[in-house]
């Protein structure tokens, strides 16, 4: 091993929570696999993910499979699923369930979904590594008063507060409701994944207790967001229930509130490359709890094929 390689391993490539916000280059590819006609993505899909930092996949699942996921989702939010309170986040100002964490550990069906080749097989190709789940959750944004989720890069938080070393993780959002432009869809800034916005401000202790409701530390400044949006525009990802959105860990994203009567729900899986397992946080005194960041994965997930309904 040369000195150069050693230096790289010991240097924080993505310093953040600094006195002043900075734009830094990305040191990692977005697509780690080498595309061939046998890859689980078309050449166009591959190029689009690399360029934009996200990809929308439709018609991966049968209607029976989608129905089974929706029923399981209702059961988990019903209060009858005996989910420990530390895994549940409610809407600000109400008891409505906004998020259920550790989804794969609380539901055999969602565990199976997380390991389905149609999602995990594509992610394994993109990251070119074995996978484990850094985080998994069920999101529910009610109609009438669904709150917004402000712009952020997931990687910025995962690096600063969880100790994820490199940009080698991908999130998959599986829509469980029909989603359109008006009911608070996922908005993304295409191409933003190629820049790391190192954020200003020190991490407060137990930052996650407030940041899950409303993130204030670890978000880009309005100036940075405006500059990104002027350069790249703002897109949104939507579709019928069953649609899958894959996005890079550093793609800036957020969502507007939702006053329409139509709720929005999705299952959310964060796949991290096995070689990219978390270490000590890069910019926080203590790591976030395990429901936000699995620190104890002992083996990579086993991908399964076939209809699960």
Q: What does residue 275 show for φ and ψ, rounded to 5 degrees?
A: -75, -10
What count of Cα atoms within 13 Å lies in the side-chain half-sphere of residue 216?
9
Q: Hey, CA dihedral for 263, 94, 79, 119, is it positive or negative? A: positive
Which of 187, 241, 270, 292 touches a second copy by CB under 8 A? Answer: 187
Which one of residues 5, 222, 298, 302 is an interface residue with a second copy (CB under 8 A)? 222
By CB under 8 A, residue 171 contacts a second copy: no
For a second copy, the binding residue among 256, 287, 295, 297 (CB under 8 A) is 256
Question: Distance between CA 112 and CA 303 in Å, rounded?
Answer: 9
From the list 300, 298, 278, 276, the residue with the least C-alpha distance to 130 is: 300
Among 50, 117, 128, 148, binds a second copy (CB under 8 A): 148
- Interface with a second copy, residue 19, by CB under 8 A: no
Nearest approach in angstroms of CB 73 to a second copy is 19
Does 229 bind a second copy (CB under 8 A)? Our answer is: yes
Residue 260 touches a second copy, criterion: CB under 8 A: yes
Tokens at 131, concatenated = 């996978």
Q: Can you read off the two tokens belonging to residue 182?
A: 């008006």
- Interacting span for a second copy (CB under 8 A) from 47-55, 131-139, 253-261, 288-296: 253-261
One residue of 32, 262, 274, 308 binding a second copy per CB under 8 A: 262
- The answer to whether the beta carbons of residues 270 and 127 sit under 8 Å apart is no
Q: Which residues, in sequence order, are bridge partners of residue 149? A: 255
Q: Report if residue 257 touches a second copy, rule: CB under 8 A.
A: yes
Among 49, 151, 158, 268, binds a second copy (CB under 8 A): 151
List residues bridging with 169 in a β-sheet: 272
- Rg, Å, the chain Cα set: 18
User: Is residue 190 at the binding interface for a second copy, with CB under 8 A as the rule?
Assistant: no
- Selected from 27, 144, 209, 231, the binder of a second copy by CB under 8 A is 144
Instruction: Provide the phi-psi class of 38: left if phi over 0, else alpha when psi is between -120 and 50, else beta.
Output: alpha
Using CB under 8 A, pick the residue from 18, 81, 84, 226 that binds a second copy.
226
Q: Residue 226 in 3-state DSSP?
A: helix
Determine if 212 is a binding residue for a second copy (CB under 8 A).
no
Q: Which residues bind a second copy (CB under 8 A)?
A: 143-144, 148, 150-151, 181-182, 184, 187, 222, 225-226, 229-230, 234, 236, 254-262
């Amino acid at each position: 091993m040369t000195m150069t390689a050693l230096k790289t391993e010991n240097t924080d490539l993505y310093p953040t929570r600094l006195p002043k916000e900075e734009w830094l280059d990305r040191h990692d590819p977005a697509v780690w696999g080498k595309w061939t006609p046998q890859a689980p993505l078309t050449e166009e899909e591959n190029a689009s993910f690399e360029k934009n930092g996200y990809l929308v996949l439709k018609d991966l699942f049968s209607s029976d499979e989608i129905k089974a996921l929706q029923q399981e989702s209702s059961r988990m939010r019903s209060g009858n699923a005996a989910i420990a309170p530390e895994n549940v986040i409610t809407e600000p100002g109400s008891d409505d369930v906004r998020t259920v964490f550790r989804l794969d550990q609380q539901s055999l069906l969602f565990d199976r979904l997380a390991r389905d080749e149609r999602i995990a097989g594509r992610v394994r190709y993109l990251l070119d590594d074995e996978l484990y789940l850094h985080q998994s959750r069920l999101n529910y944004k009610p109609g009438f008063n669904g709150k917004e989720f402000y712009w952020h890069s997931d990687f910025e938080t995962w690096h600063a507060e969880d100790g994820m070393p490199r940009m080698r993780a991908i999130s998959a959002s599986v829509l469980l409701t029909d989603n359109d432009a008006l009911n608070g869809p996922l908005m993304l800034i295409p191409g933003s994944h190629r820049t790391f916005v190192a954020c200003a401000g020190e991490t407060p202790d137990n930052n996650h207790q407030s940041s899950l409701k409303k993130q204030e530390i670890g978000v880009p400044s309005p100036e940075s967001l405006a500059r990104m949006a002027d350069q790249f525009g703002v897109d949104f990802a939507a579709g019928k229930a069953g649609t899958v959105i894959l996005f890079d860990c550093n793609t800036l994203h957020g969502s507007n509130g939702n006053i329409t009567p139509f709720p929005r729900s999705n299952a959310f899986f964060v796949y991290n490359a096995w070689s990219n397992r978390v270490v000590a946080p890069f910019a926080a005194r203590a790591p976030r709890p395990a429901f936000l960041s699995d620190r104890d994965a002992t083996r990579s997930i086993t991908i399964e094929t076939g209809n699960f309904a």
